[in-house]
Structures are given as structure tokens and as C-alpha cells.
Amino acid sequence: MTKFYRYLFTRSELRGVLILSFGVILIRVLAYSISPMVSDSFGDTLAIAVVDSTGQARKKPKIIEINSADSLALLDLPGIGPVFAKRIIKYRQMLGGFAYPEQLKEVYGMDSARLSGFIKQIRIDTSGIRKMDINKATFKELLAHPYLEYEQVKAIARFRDKKGLLGSPGELWAAGVLADSLWSCLSHYLIVVTDSALIENKILVK
């Protein structure tokens, strides 16, 4: 093995490589023995200090909260230009806010490849989602939601007329008014407003 290394390095170069390798191992052993937190910080520092092909240090990617970001902030996401930024905001307004990242694939022109390029750089705060009071939302307001079609809104209106006030949005599914497949996406946007919730300006009431 020593003869093999002599083909690759001179004696002084081999000594330098061995010393450097020992030094790196010693630093890592010391870092882990002192504290896991020190180890994590050391790793983060290394991640920040990585340089690209131009020799410039690469910054850690900025995390974007998708429900509050304006079009300028969205431009920090890879693959998102001015056109897609406007589309994301427009669809967000139609929905009332995003409930989970995969909904971004519903934005016109968005595909899985583009989404995967920035999905790790976004987070979603669902506390700001604008919801509709199923007892008070008008036909037009319900129809404006991307997940509801004309026939479905008609069925909701007929059910409300027949039953009166609903105790919860889940009654629409229990009675077969809405298909089970809509629960996972639409349930984030419907609510029955109680007296204590009437002051919430995030809820759409008429």
C-alpha cells in the first residue's frame, strides 16, 4: 500500500496528506464530544460556507411563507418569474389561501418538476386561510371557489333550503351532497360560524 501511495505523492506530500486527514478527524471527534449542538452549528457553518464554481459563497436558501408572500418575495423561489408569481397570488386569492404545498400544482402552468425545485423553500401558515360560512355564503360566493362547480353549489343550496341551518360543514358529506373526494381539499375552506367566531374577519359571511 505504501508503494502505491509513492506513485501518487512524494514523501513530503504524503506526510502532508496524512497530517491533514488526521487533523480533520480530530476536529470532528472533538466537535461531537463537546456537544451535539456544537456539531450541528459546525455543520450549518460548513453548509453556509460552501462556494460555487465562481468562488462566491452560496447563501442558505430563503424560506418563503406562501400565504403571505407578495410577488416580489415569490421571485426568490427557483423557477418562479413574474408571470408565475402573479398566477400564484391570483389562485391563492381564489382559494382563500393554500392549505398544503401540493395545491400549488393547481396553479395554471405549474408542474411537478417546477414545484419540486422550490418545495423545500416554502412553508404554509394555515391560520390566515379565508373560510366561507356554509350557512351564509351566497350562491355566487360558493361558485367562485375553485373546488366547487355549478351543480355542486346547486345541491348545497337545495340542502340548505330543505334542512335549514347546518351544524357543521361535515353534514354536506354525511348527506351525500358533496363527494367524499372533495373532503380533503374543500374542508379547509368551509365553516359554520358560531357567535364567538362572528368577529373573525377571516371568515366570509354575508
What does pTM read for this prediction? 0.66
Task: Give me the sheet containing 203-204, strands edge to edge.
Answer: 190-191, 131-133, 203-204
Cα separation, 84 vs 77, in Å, equals 10
Q: What is the mean pLDDT of the chain?
A: 78
Which of the two residues, 18 and 91, has the higher pLDDT score?
Answer: 91
State the CB neighbour count (10 A cutoff) for residue 203. Answer: 19
Question: pLDDT (tens digit, 9 = 90+) per residue, 25-77?
Answer: 555 545 445 444 333 333 333 333 444 555 555 567 789 999 999 999 999 99
> Poorest-confidence range of 56-60, 66-70, 82-86, 118-122?
56-60
pLDDT at 136 over 90: yes
Handedness of CA 182, 186, 187, 192 (dihedral sign): negative
Place of cell 334542512: 163
pLDDT at 160: 95
Q: How far is CA 8 from CA 4, 15, 23, 165, in A?
A: 7, 12, 21, 83
pLDDT at 25: 56
Q: How far is CA 176 from CA 124, 148, 154, 173, 195, in A?
A: 31, 15, 13, 5, 27
